[in-house]
Chains A and B, each alone.
Chain A
Amino acid sequence: DTAVSQTPKYLVTQMGNDKSIKCEQNLGHDTMYWYKQDSKKFLKIMFSYNNKELIINETVPNRFSPKSPDKAHLNLHINSLELGDSAVYFCASSQVAYQETQYFGPGTRLLVL
């Protein structure tokens, strides 16, 4: 009964490919997030969704697009993958946007060759 789950855990792919990472939370939270943690371990917020509405969109390339079919899911789709996209991507959720505890998924380790 994992609270926040992500699939896949590992993703190795070639430059130029399109890939998706799925995220699901069973906590009943209203807000979900995507973070990127690069090789220097810097954790940076990419997107957040509150009740299926995008409420923040950091300056990430438009090759990245979040998709939320329902409140419990926030998937991340990446087009035309580049070497610099290699990182660990974490999904997270919280009951209230920003102000409360965030629960993170285990991360997806993406390697672009």
Chain B
Amino acid sequence: RKEVEQDPGPFNVPEGATVAFNCTYSNSASQSFFWYRQDCRKEPKLLMSVYSSGNEDGRFTAQLNRASQYISLLIRDSKLSDSATYLCVVVGYSTLTFGKGTMLLVSP
């Protein structure tokens, strides 16, 4: 299994849809997890951290499943402006690995 894996997509969804992405990781000792968003030709920006108990920020919900070694991102009521690439980040003791990203395209 690769260190960090994501489905590259693209996920094509209509406005208002709910969409979910997963990110699997191979190192069971991984400590911290994040979701970043990267718009075309822009730098990555933090979307949200992923806590063990799960966390929600408006339309976005992130969850961690340590037993199955994956994190997830759920986006409700998709907006056109949500179109971007979503990168998961897995942090170990002295390692940091970005996934290759999942592209989301929200259409009118």
Query: Which residues in A have some Cβ–Cβ distance to B below 8 Å?
Result: 35, 40-45, 48, 55-56, 90, 97-99, 101-102, 104-107
Residue of chain A at shortest CB distance from B91: A98
Q: Verify B43–A40 contact, CB threshold 8 A.
A: no
Residue of chain B at shortest CB distance from A33: B96
Give how many B residues have a beta carbon under 8 Å from the other chain's beta carbons.
20
**Chain B residue contacts of A40, Cβ below 8 A:** 100
Q: List 13 A-B contacts (CB under 8 A).
A: A40-B100, A41-B100, A42-B98, A42-B100, A43-B98, A44-B98, A90-B43, A98-B32, A99-B32, A101-B34, A104-B43, A106-B42, A106-B43
Residue of chain B at shortest CB distance from A55: B94
**Chain B residue contacts of A42, Cβ below 8 A:** 98, 100
CB distance from A98 to the nearest CB of B (A): 5
| B85 CB-CB contact with A under 8 Å | yes
**Chain A residue contacts of B52, Cβ below 8 A:** none
| Contacts A90-B44, A102-B46 given; does A45 touch B96 at CB 8 Å | yes
**Chain B residue contacts of A106, Cβ below 8 A:** 42-43
| B59 CB-CB contact with A under 8 Å | no
CB distance from A38 to the nearest CB of B (A): 10
Please, what's the 1-or-0 string for B79-103, where 1 marks a CB less than 8 Å from any CB in chain A? 0000001010001101111101100
**Chain A residue contacts of B100, Cβ below 8 A:** 40-42
Residue of chain A at shortest CB distance from B97: A45
**How many angstroms between the C-alpha atoms of A97 and B85 in the bound complex?**
24
| B45 CB-CB contact with A under 8 Å | yes
| B31 CB-CB contact with A under 8 Å | yes
| Contacts A101-B46, A104-B43, A104-B45 given; does A41 touch B85 at CB 8 Å | yes
